[in-house]
Amino acid sequence: MTKALFFDIDGTLVSFETHRIPTSTIEALEAAHAKGLKIFIATGRPKTIINNLSELQDRNLIDGYITMNGAYCFVGEQVIYKSAIPQEEVKAMAAFCEKKGVPCIFVEEHHISVCQPDDMVKKIFYDFLHVDVIPTISFEEATSKEIIQMTPFITEEEEKEICPSIPTCEIGRWYPAFADITAKGDTKQKGMDEIIRYFDIKLEETMSFGDGGNDISMLRHAAIGVAMGQAKEDVKAAADYVTAPIDEDGISKAMKHFGITTGAIKIALV
Protein backbone atom coordinates (compact mmCIF):
# COMPACT_ATOMS: atom_id res chain seq x y z
CA MET A 1 0.00 0.00 0.00
CA THR A 2 1.44 3.36 -1.03
CA LYS A 3 1.28 5.95 1.76
CA ALA A 4 3.69 8.67 0.62
CA LEU A 5 4.15 10.45 -2.71
CA PHE A 6 7.30 12.48 -3.45
CA PHE A 7 7.27 15.03 -6.28
CA ASP A 8 9.98 17.05 -7.96
CA ILE A 9 8.75 20.54 -8.91
CA ASP A 10 10.17 21.81 -12.19
CA GLY A 11 9.23 19.59 -15.12
CA THR A 12 7.26 17.23 -12.88
CA LEU A 13 4.62 19.20 -11.02
CA VAL A 14 5.14 22.50 -12.83
CA SER A 15 5.31 22.70 -16.62
CA PHE A 16 8.32 24.36 -18.23
CA GLU A 17 5.95 25.45 -21.00
CA THR A 18 3.06 26.98 -19.06
CA HIS A 19 4.81 27.53 -15.69
CA ARG A 20 1.65 26.15 -14.08
CA ILE A 21 0.58 22.91 -12.44
CA PRO A 22 -1.75 21.04 -14.81
CA THR A 23 -5.35 20.90 -13.60
CA SER A 24 -5.28 17.11 -13.90
CA THR A 25 -2.31 16.99 -11.49
CA ILE A 26 -4.06 19.15 -8.90
CA GLU A 27 -7.15 16.97 -9.09
CA ALA A 28 -5.09 13.77 -8.75
CA LEU A 29 -3.23 15.11 -5.70
CA GLU A 30 -6.49 16.23 -4.12
CA ALA A 31 -7.92 12.73 -4.59
CA ALA A 32 -4.80 11.09 -3.16
CA HIS A 33 -4.71 13.39 -0.15
CA ALA A 34 -8.39 12.77 0.51
CA LYS A 35 -7.57 9.04 0.70
CA GLY A 36 -4.99 9.74 3.39
CA LEU A 37 -1.79 9.65 1.33
CA LYS A 38 0.97 12.06 2.35
CA ILE A 39 2.32 14.40 -0.32
CA PHE A 40 5.89 15.69 -0.21
CA ILE A 41 7.91 18.06 -2.36
CA ALA A 42 11.44 17.04 -3.35
CA THR A 43 13.23 19.88 -5.13
CA GLY A 44 16.59 21.43 -5.81
CA ARG A 45 15.08 24.82 -5.04
CA PRO A 46 15.62 26.36 -1.62
CA LYS A 47 12.52 27.39 0.30
CA THR A 48 13.02 31.06 -0.52
CA ILE A 49 12.48 30.51 -4.26
CA ILE A 50 9.65 27.97 -4.13
CA ASN A 51 7.22 30.36 -5.79
CA ASN A 52 5.08 28.14 -8.01
CA LEU A 53 3.15 25.79 -5.71
CA SER A 54 0.40 28.10 -4.44
CA GLU A 55 -2.30 25.98 -6.10
CA LEU A 56 -1.24 23.09 -3.86
CA GLN A 57 -0.30 25.14 -0.80
CA ASP A 58 -3.64 26.98 -0.79
CA ARG A 59 -5.39 23.61 -0.69
CA ASN A 60 -3.15 22.36 2.15
CA LEU A 61 -2.01 19.44 0.03
CA ILE A 62 1.69 19.47 0.96
CA ASP A 63 2.77 17.61 4.10
CA GLY A 64 6.50 18.33 3.99
CA TYR A 65 9.41 19.53 1.90
CA ILE A 66 12.76 18.18 0.76
CA THR A 67 14.65 21.23 -0.52
CA MET A 68 18.16 21.94 -1.80
CA ASN A 69 18.30 18.39 -3.17
CA GLY A 70 17.94 16.83 0.29
CA ALA A 71 20.21 19.16 2.28
CA TYR A 72 17.33 20.97 4.00
CA CYS A 73 14.07 19.25 4.95
CA PHE A 74 11.17 20.67 6.91
CA VAL A 75 7.61 19.93 7.97
CA GLY A 76 5.58 23.03 8.73
CA GLU A 77 7.87 25.27 10.76
CA GLN A 78 10.00 22.37 12.00
CA VAL A 79 13.36 21.72 10.35
CA ILE A 80 13.95 17.97 10.46
CA TYR A 81 17.29 17.90 8.61
CA LYS A 82 19.95 20.45 7.70
CA SER A 83 23.49 19.91 6.41
CA ALA A 84 26.05 22.56 5.45
CA ILE A 85 28.93 22.34 2.97
CA PRO A 86 32.42 22.38 4.54
CA GLN A 87 33.74 25.95 4.54
CA GLU A 88 36.98 25.08 2.74
CA GLU A 89 35.01 23.64 -0.16
CA VAL A 90 32.78 26.71 -0.32
CA LYS A 91 35.96 28.77 -0.61
CA ALA A 92 37.33 26.47 -3.30
CA MET A 93 34.19 26.81 -5.42
CA ALA A 94 34.12 30.58 -4.91
CA ALA A 95 37.73 30.90 -6.04
CA PHE A 96 37.08 28.68 -9.06
CA CYS A 97 34.02 30.65 -10.19
CA GLU A 98 35.75 33.98 -9.63
CA LYS A 99 38.72 32.83 -11.72
CA LYS A 100 36.46 31.51 -14.49
CA GLY A 101 34.31 34.65 -14.45
CA VAL A 102 31.08 32.68 -14.02
CA PRO A 103 28.16 33.25 -11.62
CA CYS A 104 27.54 31.20 -8.52
CA ILE A 105 24.45 31.22 -6.32
CA PHE A 106 25.04 30.59 -2.62
CA VAL A 107 22.17 29.42 -0.41
CA GLU A 108 22.05 29.80 3.36
CA GLU A 109 19.29 28.52 5.62
CA HIS A 110 17.13 31.61 5.15
CA HIS A 111 18.85 33.64 2.43
CA ILE A 112 20.02 33.31 -1.15
CA SER A 113 22.58 35.46 -2.96
CA VAL A 114 24.56 35.46 -6.20
CA CYS A 115 28.12 36.40 -7.09
CA GLN A 116 28.99 38.02 -10.44
CA PRO A 117 25.58 37.44 -12.09
CA ASP A 118 25.38 37.55 -15.86
CA ASP A 119 22.78 37.27 -18.61
CA MET A 120 22.44 33.51 -18.02
CA VAL A 121 21.25 34.08 -14.46
CA LYS A 122 18.69 36.56 -15.77
CA LYS A 123 17.60 34.28 -18.61
CA ILE A 124 17.13 31.16 -16.48
CA PHE A 125 16.21 32.31 -12.98
CA TYR A 126 14.39 35.56 -13.67
CA ASP A 127 12.88 35.20 -17.14
CA PHE A 128 12.36 31.42 -17.28
CA LEU A 129 11.79 30.37 -13.65
CA HIS A 130 10.27 33.72 -12.60
CA VAL A 131 12.39 33.97 -9.46
CA ASP A 132 12.64 37.40 -7.82
CA VAL A 133 15.93 39.17 -8.40
CA ILE A 134 18.57 37.58 -6.16
CA PRO A 135 20.77 39.97 -4.11
CA THR A 136 24.34 40.29 -5.38
CA ILE A 137 27.24 39.90 -2.96
CA SER A 138 31.00 39.46 -3.23
CA PHE A 139 32.72 36.07 -3.14
CA GLU A 140 34.46 37.20 0.05
CA GLU A 141 31.10 37.81 1.72
CA ALA A 142 29.66 34.53 0.43
CA THR A 143 32.49 32.47 1.89
CA SER A 144 31.98 33.97 5.35
CA LYS A 145 28.52 32.38 5.69
CA GLU A 146 27.21 28.88 6.43
CA ILE A 147 26.32 27.60 2.96
CA ILE A 148 23.94 24.67 2.42
CA GLN A 149 23.86 24.68 -1.40
CA MET A 150 25.94 26.22 -4.18
CA THR A 151 24.80 26.61 -7.77
CA PRO A 152 27.73 27.44 -10.02
CA PHE A 153 27.09 28.15 -13.70
CA ILE A 154 29.73 25.74 -14.93
CA THR A 155 29.90 23.26 -17.79
CA GLU A 156 30.28 19.52 -17.29
CA GLU A 157 33.95 19.88 -18.27
CA GLU A 158 34.45 22.59 -15.65
CA GLU A 159 32.65 20.36 -13.18
CA LYS A 160 35.29 17.67 -13.72
CA GLU A 161 37.97 20.32 -13.23
CA ILE A 162 36.68 21.50 -9.84
CA CYS A 163 35.73 18.04 -8.51
CA PRO A 164 39.09 17.28 -6.83
CA SER A 165 38.80 20.53 -4.84
CA ILE A 166 35.36 19.66 -3.40
CA PRO A 167 35.82 15.98 -2.45
CA THR A 168 33.10 15.89 0.20
CA CYS A 169 30.38 17.36 -2.01
CA GLU A 170 27.56 15.97 -4.14
CA ILE A 171 27.06 17.40 -7.63
CA GLY A 172 23.77 17.14 -9.50
CA ARG A 173 22.13 18.78 -12.50
CA TRP A 174 18.52 19.41 -13.48
CA TYR A 175 19.34 22.10 -16.03
CA PRO A 176 22.34 21.99 -18.40
CA ALA A 177 23.67 25.48 -17.63
CA PHE A 178 24.44 24.91 -13.95
CA ALA A 179 25.07 22.35 -11.23
CA ASP A 180 23.64 22.10 -7.73
CA ILE A 181 26.21 21.26 -5.08
CA THR A 182 25.51 20.01 -1.56
CA ALA A 183 27.48 18.19 1.13
CA LYS A 184 28.28 14.55 0.43
CA GLY A 185 25.30 12.28 0.99
CA ASP A 186 22.75 15.06 0.64
CA THR A 187 20.52 13.90 -2.21
CA LYS A 188 16.78 13.54 -2.66
CA GLN A 189 17.22 9.94 -1.50
CA LYS A 190 18.58 11.23 1.82
CA GLY A 191 15.67 13.66 2.05
CA MET A 192 13.20 10.82 1.52
CA ASP A 193 14.78 8.87 4.35
CA GLU A 194 14.50 11.83 6.71
CA ILE A 195 10.85 12.42 5.81
CA ILE A 196 9.73 8.81 6.15
CA ARG A 197 11.60 8.48 9.44
CA TYR A 198 9.78 11.53 10.76
CA PHE A 199 6.35 10.24 9.68
CA ASP A 200 7.07 6.57 10.50
CA ILE A 201 6.44 5.49 6.91
CA LYS A 202 8.15 2.45 5.43
CA LEU A 203 10.25 2.74 2.27
CA GLU A 204 8.09 0.09 0.61
CA GLU A 205 5.14 2.48 1.04
CA THR A 206 6.68 5.24 -1.09
CA MET A 207 6.35 6.44 -4.68
CA SER A 208 8.44 9.18 -6.30
CA PHE A 209 8.02 11.27 -9.46
CA GLY A 210 10.76 13.13 -11.32
CA ASP A 211 12.21 14.23 -14.64
CA GLY A 212 15.78 15.45 -14.01
CA GLY A 213 19.20 14.08 -13.22
CA ASN A 214 18.88 15.14 -9.59
CA ASP A 215 15.77 12.93 -9.32
CA ILE A 216 17.57 9.70 -10.15
CA SER A 217 18.48 8.86 -6.55
CA MET A 218 14.88 9.08 -5.33
CA LEU A 219 13.46 7.30 -8.38
CA ARG A 220 15.74 4.38 -7.60
CA HIS A 221 15.13 4.58 -3.85
CA ALA A 222 11.34 4.69 -3.72
CA ALA A 223 9.35 1.48 -3.89
CA ILE A 224 7.96 2.82 -7.17
CA GLY A 225 9.83 5.44 -9.17
CA VAL A 226 7.94 7.23 -11.96
CA ALA A 227 9.80 9.19 -14.64
CA MET A 228 8.02 11.84 -16.70
CA GLY A 229 7.71 11.14 -20.40
CA GLN A 230 9.90 14.06 -21.46
CA ALA A 231 12.80 13.00 -19.19
CA LYS A 232 16.20 12.01 -20.59
CA GLU A 233 16.99 8.34 -21.06
CA ASP A 234 19.17 8.01 -17.94
CA VAL A 235 16.30 9.28 -15.80
CA LYS A 236 13.83 6.92 -17.44
CA ALA A 237 16.24 4.04 -16.93
CA ALA A 238 16.30 4.73 -13.18
CA ALA A 239 12.52 4.49 -12.90
CA ASP A 240 10.14 1.56 -12.56
CA TYR A 241 7.59 3.22 -14.81
CA VAL A 242 7.62 5.96 -17.44
CA THR A 243 4.45 8.01 -17.69
CA ALA A 244 3.33 10.59 -20.25
CA PRO A 245 5.02 14.03 -20.36
CA ILE A 246 3.91 16.61 -17.82
CA ASP A 247 1.87 18.56 -20.38
CA GLU A 248 0.03 15.37 -21.39
CA ASP A 249 -1.32 14.69 -17.89
CA GLY A 250 1.60 12.47 -16.92
CA ILE A 251 1.09 12.65 -13.15
CA SER A 252 -2.63 11.94 -13.36
CA LYS A 253 -2.11 9.03 -15.75
CA ALA A 254 0.56 7.44 -13.56
CA MET A 255 -1.55 7.73 -10.44
CA LYS A 256 -4.46 6.10 -12.23
CA HIS A 257 -2.17 3.38 -13.59
CA PHE A 258 -1.05 2.47 -10.06
CA GLY A 259 -4.53 2.73 -8.60
CA ILE A 260 -3.74 5.71 -6.40
CA THR A 261 -6.85 7.51 -7.56
CA THR A 262 -8.91 4.61 -8.93
CA GLY A 263 -8.52 1.55 -6.70
CA ALA A 264 -6.00 -1.11 -5.75
CA ILE A 265 -2.29 -0.38 -6.20
CA LYS A 266 -0.65 -2.18 -9.10
CA ILE A 267 2.81 -3.71 -8.91
CA ALA A 268 5.43 -1.90 -11.01
CA LEU A 269 7.17 -3.86 -13.73
CA VAL A 270 10.89 -3.12 -13.73
DSSP letter string, the chain? ---EEEE-SBTTTB-TTTSS--HHHHHHHHHHHHTT-EEEEE-SS-GGG--S-HHHHTTT---EEEEGGGTEEEETTEEEEE-PPPHHHHHHHHHHHHHHT--EEEE-SS-EEEES--HHHIIIIIIIS-PPPPPB--HHHHTTS--SEEEE---HHHHHHHGGG-TTEEEEEEETTEEEEEETT-SHHHHHHHHHHHHT--GGGEEEEE-SGGGHHHHHHSSEEEE-TTS-HHHHHHSSEE---GGGTHHHHHHHHTTTTTSSPPPPP-
Q: Work out the pLDDT band at 251, boundaries 50, 70, 90.
A: very high
Question: What domains can be seen in the chain, in order of their start residue?
Answer: 4-82+186-258 (3.40.50.1000), 87-182 (3.30.1240.10)
- pTM of the predicted model as reported, rounded to 2 decimal places: 0.91
pLDDT of residue 202: 98
Mean pLDDT within 11-21: 95
pLDDT tens digit string along 223-234? 999 999 999 999
pLDDT tens digit string along 139-161? 999 999 999 999 999 999 999 99
pLDDT tens digit string along 43-69? 999 999 999 999 999 999 999 999 999
pLDDT of residue 175: 84
Residues 193/181, Cβ–Cβ less than 8 Å = no
Report the distance separating Cα 123 and Cα 130, nearest Å. 9
Whether residue 38 is predicted with pLDDT greater than 50 in this model: the reply is yes
